[in-house]
Structure 1
Amino acid sequence: MKILHYSLGFPPSRTGGLVTYAIDLAHEQAKNGDMIYYLYPGKINFLKKRAYIKKDSANSYGNFQAFSLINSLPLPLFGGIREPNDFMANANKDCYFNLLKTIKPDVIHIHTLMGLHKEFFEVAAFFKIKIVYTSHDYFGLAPEPNFFYNGSNYVDDNSIKKWIEISKTALPTWKLRIFQFNSYKTIKPFLKKISKLKGVKNKKFTKDINYSNEKLRKFTLLRNYYLSIFGYFDFYHFNSTVSANVYNKFINIDKSEIISISNAGIIKNSFKLKEKNNSGKLRVGYIGPYEKYKGFFEFLKLTHMTGKKVEYHVFGSNEKIKIPSKIINHGRYSRKNIKKVFELIDVLIVPSLWNETFGFITAEALSYGVKVLTSNHVGSKDIIDRSFIFENINQVPKLLLNLNKYRLIRPKTINEHYVEIKKMYKKGN
Structure 2
Amino acid sequence: MRILHYGLGYPPERTGGLVQYVTDLMIEQVKQNHEVAYLFPGRVNIFNSFTEIKKSKMRINDVTSFEIINSLPLAVFGGIKDPSKFQAKVDRATYNDLLNDFKPDVIHVHSLMGIHKEFFEVATDKKIKIIYTSHDYFGLSPNPTFYFNGRSWDEENDLNFWLNVSQGAIETKKLKLLQLPFYSNVRDIIKKFKKSSFQKEKDYKDIENEAFSLDERKSFEELIDYYQSIFKLITLFHFNSSISKTVFERNLVHPISSCKVLSISNSTILGGRKHIKLDMSKVKKITYIGQYAEFKGFTDFISLAEALKDKDITFEIYGENIDVPLPSNVINKKRFSSHEKEKVFKDTQLLIIPSRWKETFGFLGLEALDNNCPVFVNKNIGMKDLITENFIFSSSDLNIFLKNIIRHSYQEELTLTIPTFSEHTTQVVNIYK
Scaled by the length of structure 1, the TM-score of the pair is 0.92
- Relative distance call for 1:209 and 1:165 in structure 2 (3 A) is farther
1:65, CA displacement in angstroms?
A: 1.6
Q: Structure 1 stretches (4+) deviating beyond 6 angstroms? A: 194-198, 274-277
Q: CA RMSD in A?
A: 2.4
Deviations 1:85-135 (A, max 9, x none): 000111122221111101100000000100001111111112111000000
**In the alignment, which residue of structure 2 is the partner of 1:420?**
427
Residue aligning to 1:103: 102
Report the equivalent of 1:221.
222
Unaligned runs of 5+ in 1: none
Match of 2:82 in 1: 83
Find the counterpart in structure 2 of residue 302 from structure 1: 304
The one of 380, 389, 397 equivalent to 2:403 is 397
71 and 316 in structure 1: CA distance in 2 versus 1, 3 angstrom threshold: same
Counterpart of 1:133, as a letter, is Y
Q: 2:287: which partner in 1?
A: 285
Aligned residues: 423
Instruction: Give me the whole-angstrom Cα distance separating, in 2, the residues matched to 1:105 and 1:402.
Output: 56
Structure 2 residues not aligned, in runs of 5+? none
1:208 deviates by 10
- Report if the CA contact (8 A) 1:4-1:39 is conserved: yes
Distance 1:150 1:11, change over 3 A: same
Tell me how far 1:32 sits from its aligned partner: 0.8
Which sits farther off after the overlay, 128-137 or 52-61? 52-61
Specify the SS of the correspondent of 2:295.
Answer: coil
CA-to-partner distance for each residue in 1:49-97, whole Å, 9 max, x for gaps? Answer: 11112222241422x1222211110011123001110001111222211
Equivalent position of 2:32 in the other structure: 32
Any residues of structure 2 matched to 1:202-241 within 5 Å, and which?
202-203=204-205, 206=207, 210-241=211-242
Q: In the alignment, which residue of structure 2 is the partner of 1:348?
A: 351
Shift of 1:213: 2.1
Contact 1:9–1:40 (Cα < 8 Å) also in 2: yes
* Counterparts in 2 of 1:287 and 1:269: CA distance versus 1, 3 Å: farther
In structure 2, relative to structure 1, the CA distance for the partners of 1:256 and 1:402 (3 Å cut) is: farther
Q: Distance in 1 between the 2:241 and 2:272 partners?
A: 23
Name the SS for the 2:296 alignment partner: coil
Distance of aligned partners of 1:399 and 1:102 in 2 relative to their CA distance in 1, 3 Å threshold:
farther
- Per the TM alignment, residue 189 of structure 1 is displaced from its structure 2 partner at its CA by 3.1
Are the counterparts in 1 of residues 286 and 349 from structure 2 also a CA contact under 8 Å? yes
Structure 1 residue 188, shift from structure 2 partner: 5.7
C-alpha separation between the residues in 2 aligned to 1:308 and 1:195? 29
Is this contact kept in 2: 1:153–1:354, CA < 8 A? yes
Give, as a single letter, the amino acid of the residue that structure 2 aligns with 1:421.
V
Please name the residue that 2:324 is paired with.
Answer: 321
Q: Do 1:286 and 1:313's aligned partners in 2 also have CA atoms closer than 8 Å?
A: yes
- Against the structure 1 CA distance between its residues 275 and 217, is the aligned structure 2 distance closer, same or farther, given a 3 Å change threshold? closer
Looking at structure 2, the residues matched to 76 and 147 of structure 1 have their Cα atoms a distance apart, in angstroms, of: 13
Contact 1:168 1:209 (8 Å CA) reproduced: no
- The 1:406/1:311 distance shift into structure 2, 3 A limit, reads farther
Query: In the aligned structure 2, how far is the partner of 1:65 from the partner of 1:254?
Result: 31
Contact 2:201 2:293 (8 Å CA) reproduced? no
